[in-house]
Amino acid sequence: MKNKQWILKNFPVGDISEGDLVLEENEVSELLDDQVLIRNIYLSLDPANRGWMSGQKSYVDAMKTGDIMRGGTIGIIEESKNDKFKKGEIVNCMGGWQEYFISDGKGVRQIPQGTGFPLDSYMSVLGMTGLTAYFGLLDVTDPQQGETLVVSAAAGAVGSIVCQIGKIKGCKVVGIAGSDSKCEWLTRELGIDAAINYKTDNLRQRLKEECPDGIDIYFENVGGSITEAVLTRMNINGRISLCGLISVYNSKSLASGPAWGNLLVKRIKLKGFIVFDYFKRYMEAYLDLTKWMKEGKIQYKNHIIPDIENAGLAIKKLFSGENEGKLIIQVSENSTKN
């Protein structure tokens, strides 16, 4: 059986170039004892992927050139020599950019079936994306009723969930996004208070208009000049949840950050976080998120692109902002009941 696999050939410098990731076709090897064969259905494409490609150790081990490109997946067990897994079970794991993944079961978790939620929702609001939004907003910034929350990359996978949790907690929510259609989706569909198109609007002026009482909480996905503009409107004792820095991930050299003067004078608390640190509390988030989903309080948008062959090109959408919602590759057919 053949297995199409994306191999990391070079650590990209700046933008990802042709040749950094190369598609190969290899044989699926025979299963050993305790192993399972997983057919990948969905592959998650995330800003974090760019960091993994850098060859730098971060919160996970560094990737090496020649490795199969790392990625979060949902798949189905096709064959199992491991007592913990049965054929036909749906699982979530780091299955990589490939059609088939052979695993010893470590880090592989079953996904409940028959819940009424579509399978792809477990890649976004009910997956790492939702958990990231949940802990990054609630644990890091402790939002209070009536506070003003600003979210950058607000129409993105994480940002759009953050906006909606902010509304559930009674915040005034102002999103920053990169197109009018994204802004309209945020205000009309998700019901957030205001959305600013940073590409066409005067961001500083609009923040002033939309946040007349200043900004209490900033959920940071972006970095760069957007952050500078937000910092000037932050209130004393404001909080910043540092989730991502998409604008600098493709920088060739270490980009400088915003001046710290406002952090000092305004006594800002800033905290970087990684969702994996909350591993022991995942269930708490999952219960809240499913409840809000059932109540219709959270919507999500998945941007699903078919075929593993498209992964190398598709990931660039994250940096150009072309994706609308969570970016996912449909690797193979979803033959489940979800």
In 3D space, the residue among 108, 97, 98 whose CA is nearest the CA of residue 36 turns out to be: 108
CB of 187 within 8 A of CB of 163?
Answer: no
Among 244, 298, 311, 323, binds its own copies (CB under 8 A): 244
Residue with tokens 């209490």: 216
H or E, element range at 261: helix 261-265
Residue type, 31: L
Q: Is 18 exposed, middle or buried (0-12, 13-18, 19+ CB in 10 A)?
A: exposed
In this complex, which beta carbon is closest to its own copies, that of residue 269 or of residue 294? 269
Residue 279 within binding range of its own copies, rule CB under 8 A: no
| 257 scored as a contact of its own copies (CB under 8 A) | yes
* 165-224: contacts with its own copies (CB under 8 A): 220, 223
Q: Which of 180, 260, 310, 322 touches its own copies by CB under 8 A?
A: 260
Using rule CB under 8 A, residue 270 touches its own copies: yes
- In angstroms, give the least distance from the CB of 51 to its own copies: 8
- 265 lies in the site for its own copies, by CB under 8 A: yes
Dig out the tokens for 263 from the structure: 């952090």
Indicate whether 264 belongs to the interface with its own copies (CB under 8 A).
yes
Residue 136: CB minimum distance to its own copies, A: 11
Token output for 217: 């909480």
Least distance CB 271 / its own copies (angstroms): 5
Is 66 one of the binding residues for its own copies (CB under 8 A)?
Answer: no
**Pick from 116, 182, 176: which is nearest to 150 by CA?**
176
C-beta closer to its own copies: residue 91 or 203: 203
Beta strand extents in 65-169 (DSSP E only): 73-80, 90-93, 100-103, 109-110, 148-152
Could you say whether residue 263 binds its own copies (CB under 8 A)? yes
Q: Which stretch binds its own copies (CB under 8 A): 81-89, 114-122, 124-132, 263-271?
A: 263-271
**Residue bearing tokens 């409107």:** 233
Of 22, 248, 319, 336, which one interacts with its own copies (CB under 8 A)? Answer: 248
The CA distances from residue 23 to 7, 19, 214, 295, in Å, are 6, 9, 49, 42
Positions touching its own copies (CB under 8 A) are 51, 58-59, 220, 223, 227, 236, 242-245, 248, 254-261, 263-274, 277
